[in-house]
Every structure is written in structure tokens, then in C-alpha cells.
Chain A
Amino acid sequence: AQKITQTQPGMFVQEKEAVTLDCTYDTSDQSYGLFWYKQPSSGEMIFLIYQGSYDEQNATEGRYSLNFQKARKSANLVISASQLGDSAMYFCAMILNSGGSNYKLTFGKGTLLTVNP
């Protein structure tokens, strides 16, 4: 069974600085996908970025980048130039790309990011 671990319950960052949110995963499968979602207080889960296990380059989406280290089984999210609107809960999640379970997202417990002005 797969597992996602987020060891930082909360993080603080100054506006305009960069911040790294940690995520480690555990699976014996070779084919999987890693996701980061943002959840503001409104509740909606907002998709940020995706990394496939076969992708050789780290994924980037605007101010978001995913630092994928396959040997260490880590998939850290880097947010550059933090903005006040980035304050939210951030979840790391994984799917296994097998036919029987490739819609089942497994989530970590999340990291609450607070951006200070």
C-alpha cells in the first residue's frame, strides 16, 4: 500500500521569499504519479502540479516547482516569491498507475502555510 508523509504541520514564510514544503512517499510500484494540491479555508482542493515517476525533469508550473528525488522518494514543493494569497493548507498526494487503482489519490496530512507581510 502507498503512503504519503508530510512532516511539517505548519510553515511560516515572509512575503516575496521562497519556501519548500516537504513530502516523502512510500511505494514498491515503479509507475506512479505525485501531486500537490492547495486547499484554502473555503475548502476547494486546487491542483497545483504533477510529476510522473518516469519524468526525468522536475515539473514546474509558474511559481511552483516540484523537487523530485526518486532515490530518496521525496517530492518537495517549492513556491517562489510567496504571496499573501498562498496562505493555505497544502497536500501532497500520490496515485499508482496500475489499472485497478489509478484514480485513488492517497493524501498526506497536509502542511499549513502562512505567508507574513
Chain B
Amino acid sequence: DAGVTQSPTHLIKTRGQQVTLRCSPKSGHDTVSWYQQALGQGPQFIFQYYEEEERQRGNFPDRFSGHQFPNYSSELNVNALLLGDSALYLCASSLWRGPRWGPIQYFGAGTRLSVL
């Protein structure tokens, strides 16, 4: 049973460029969330996709956008890259467990983005 897979593992870009990160959820999961983890910090929630729509969003600018495909895989796009966008980008997939409990999110190994 494959877990959450992300590609690429590492990426180097320059300021002003655009980047696309990809995520395939764990088998049987239909929801994907994206997080940004700066060095030495805990992950910060970017947004969550379900049924090909953005359902929840954290405090990130519109330069951060995403997409979910019919097979539940997802992309994170970042436009006009800034030096401060350098971070580990984590994708998490989840399975709904019922209204009283939030879903358990399972993470991939992340994409490490460096902006020069």
C-alpha cells in the first residue's frame, strides 16, 4: 500500500519564477492538504482540497494556488517566488472519520524548495 508520494524531492528556483509541486495521496484517501515548513519551525497550513475544490485556506497570499485532479492527486503552484518561500513543502492526505473527530492526516516526505 503506497503512502503519500511527492515530487520532486528537491527543487532550486530563482526569485520571480513559478514552481509546481505534485502529490499523490495514500490509497483510499480523497482529501489533500498542503503545508509549508520553514527551517526550525512547525508546518503551517496552506490549503486543503476535496472534490477538486479548495475547501479551507490558511493565511497565505494568492501567489499560492492549487489544484486537485479526479484521481485525487494534487498540485501546489507558487508564482512570483520570493526568497522567503524557501521551505519544505509537505502534502498530507486524509480519510474522513466522522463528524466528532477530525481526520488523521498522513504526510509525504516533502519537497524541499530553495529560492535563490
Contacts and interface: CB of A to CB of B under 8 A. Distances in A.
A105 B105 contact: yes
A102 to B, nearest CB: 4
A-side interface size class: 20 to 34
A102 B104 contact: no
Contacts of B40: 109
B-side interface size class: 20 to 34
Interface string B33-77: 101000011111100100000011010000000000000000000
A104 B46 CA distance: 9
Given A97-B101, A103-B33, A103-B94, A44 B109 contact: yes
A105 B43 contact: yes
Nearest to B108: A44
Contacts of B102: 32-33, 95-97, 102-103
A28 interface: no
Contacts of A44: 107-110
